[in-house]
Structure 1
Amino acid sequence: MITPPASRFLTRRRWLAHSAALLATPFAAMANPPQRLGTQLRIVIPANPGGGWDQTGRALGAAMISSGLTDRILYENIGGKGGIVGLTEYTKRYGSDPNSLLIGGMVMVGALALNKKSAELHQVQALARLTSDYLVVAVPLDSPIANPKALAKAMRDNLPALAIAGGSAGGVDHMYAGMLARQSKANAEQLQYKPFAGGNDVLQALLHKQVQVGISGYSEFRDALQAGKLRALGVSSRRAMFGIASMRDQGMDAEMSNWRAVFTGRNLPAERAGQLLAAIEYASNQDSWKQALLSNNSSASWQTGKALQEFLEVETSTAQLMSYLLRLKS
């Protein structure tokens, strides 16, 4: 059991505010292509097809091919438990493979914390954080929950009767659902959270009225929102995004961002890890990658080295703290 020091959480919020400008700053483009990685590279995506990790992994692979860094990418989707299944399989099968990468992010960090397995993240080495984005809270178009105020009332009145769909247990969607319950002054321990392996599954659960509320990235909800099949209650950013008002501006001070990163095997020599990182940075400056960011409504959030390691430590501590404070259950 960890002790929930409030000062640690507040320090993280100040740290995020201080570094926001850095996250939005484009990283310098490399003048010349780095060394080719070989004819074939494997990218393991620890989630089902169609979600944010899948979009990120395939966009990165496409950029690597288009920039001549490799000839072929093998994509391997291994979904389950917020990335824990994929992480375990990756470590077992590709921990020493010099031609493999693993996609991950805040969802995996949260799932590991929820299952008290945070130490397992040390089985891989982080190369670069790639993107950050925000969450959208949505309901079916005919839902009686018309806005965040109505959502807060529904949570206070009968939280156990309100099924909320999102990504895997312990992930950023789950933590955000808990934050909303806490902001609504409901008992977060009664949260009825329905985890799904991918954003498309969350969307389908909403459209088929299997749940009352859904939480996912804007890219997963975009088409249904534009088609008038869903109503967005708000976005988890500080201010409006995607033409959607923030939950914070509508009276629910619940702000949270998602991020995605790329890892490789812990046992790789430093030289090979450096080659992979150089290739990822070069690919991330290609037009195809930049277009994918626009299409997926994500923002570049490049970070490597010591700064990334410190960031991961903060995120892990925060996930552990949030799991404790919100009494999240797997």
Structure 2
Amino acid sequence: MTPLSRRKALAHAALAATAWTALTPAAWAQASATAARPTAPKAPKLAGTLRIVIPANPGGGWDQTGRALGVALAAVGAADQIEYENIGGKGGTIGLAKYAEKYGNDPNTLLMGGMVMVGAVALQKPAVDMSHIQPIARLTSDYLVAAVAAKSPIKNTKDLADAMRADLRALPVAGGSAGGVDHIFAGVLARASKAKPEDLVYKPFPGGSEVVDALVSGNAAVGLSGYSEFSDAIAAGKLRAIGVSSRRSAFGLPAFREQGLDATMANWRGVFTGKGVPSARMAEMLAAVEAATAHESWLRTLKSNRWEPSWLTGKDLAEFMELDLTTARVMVYLLKLKA
């Protein structure tokens, strides 16, 4: 390596370390912040048929969020009927690319997305990234639950941290797409446990049900997912919940932070439109989505899934997403992730 190349490499490492230092628990938890909202306006009629593209397989968090939003949009009169199109794979980047190509100028088609997609973009560096869509609103934040099989010797957060520190490679972690929020949080847990994040063995799966199967079968030692995707297996006694990534207890579970492990993070989900959609139509979409999220059907969904409302729009949302992307890129660097 030449002296110049060496200086560049050291500068890159220093930059990443500086960025990581700035990622305090408060910064990680920022995704759960709820902005003040005005009274929701009456929903404009957007279309007879409105389409929502969900860049994930049926049954997961984006699918649940997108379909709940569709029900609420129809209920407030924004559309007569809602069509859903699931396009799963690679943390949402396959759906993102197809959406941008097919619906980039379509004023009647929405796209679901969120932090998982941000992480996948940071990891994969795809030709079509989030600059090809426009954010309408951040809708919800969900916290990550770490769970193990009921027969696992890991009983609590101390056991988990001890096992990670002793031999991280012997403790495969299952979660969503590589580079997504689950993967990033696995690295946060490892680092908080004083293990080496680069030793992490991460097994990505397309949905929460597959993560449950991996834990029950012994294919993974620890699983990470949203509470809604683990709740049935926990209630059935198949899994044991170890902790949650919030700053305080949630879902009746203690937070990692309350158990002495400084690991917090929130998984947010939002709704987007195509880059070619004009600002006037964007404003109508925003008004319709805002009205939908005030409807009782949406509020019931939040309560039943234990999602936290985290409404954010406009410049604040754009800046928040830029910070999220920077965070994800730093973690990709620290974890030495490869697409």
Q: Name the structure 2 match of 1:259.
A: 268
Matches within 5 A, 1:42-191: 42-117=51-126, 120-191=129-200
Q: Residue 310 of structure 1: SS of its match in structure 2?
A: helix
* Counterpart secondary structure, 1:113: helix
Deviations 1:204-246 (A, max 9, x none): 2222322111000011111111222111110011111111111
1:28 to 30, 38, 46: 38
Q: Which consecutive residues of structure 1, in runs of 5 or more, have no partner in the other structure? A: none
Aligned partner of 1:37 in structure 2 is: 46
| Other-structure match for 2:324 | 315
Which segment drifts farther, 198-207 or 161-170? Answer: 198-207
Structure 1 counterpart of 2:140, which letter? T
The code of the aligned residue for 2:79 comes to T
Deviations 1:180-205 (A, max 9, x none): 11222222222111111112221222
Residue aligning to 1:304: 313
CA contact 2:55–2:92 (8 Å) conserved in 1: yes
In 1, the alpha carbon distance for the partners of 2:36 and 2:142 equals 15
Distance across 1 between alignment mates of 2:281 and 2:163: 53
> Could you say what secondary structure the match of 2:97 adopts?
helix
Match for 1:207: what amino acid? V
Q: Give the counterpart letter for 1:204 in structure 2.
A: D
| Deviation at residue 276 of structure 1 after TM alignment | 0.9
Q: CA RMSD in A?
A: 2.1
Q: Report how far residue 15 of structure 1 moved.
A: 6.7
**Which moves more between the two structures, 141-150 or 103-112?**
141-150
Listed as ranges, the gaps of 5+ residues in structure 2 are: 1-8
Q: How does 1:226-305 map to 2 (within 5 A)?
A: 226-305=235-314
Change in CA separation of 1:309 and 1:25 when aligned onto 2, cut-off 3 Å: closer
| Contact map agreement 2:92 2:120 (CA 8 A) in 1 | yes
After TM superposition, give the deviation of residue 20 of structure 1 in Å: 8.3
Q: In the superposition, relative to structure 1, how do residues 20 and 129 fare at CA in structure 2: closer, same or farther (>3 Å)? A: closer
Cα distance between partner residues in 1 of 2:321 and 2:118: 8
Residue 105 of structure 1 aligns with an amino acid whose one-letter code is G
Q: How many pairs align? A: 328
Letter in 2 for 1:250: Q
Deviation at 1:321, TM superposition (A): 0.9
Separation (CA, whole Å) in 2 of partners of 1:233 and 1:17: 20
Query: How far did 1:69 drift?
Result: 1.1
What code does the residue aligned with 2:46 have? L
Q: Percent identity?
A: 54
72-81 or 144-153, which moves further after superposition? 144-153
Distance 2:203 2:30 in 1: 33
Is the partner of 2:50 in helix, strand or coil? strand
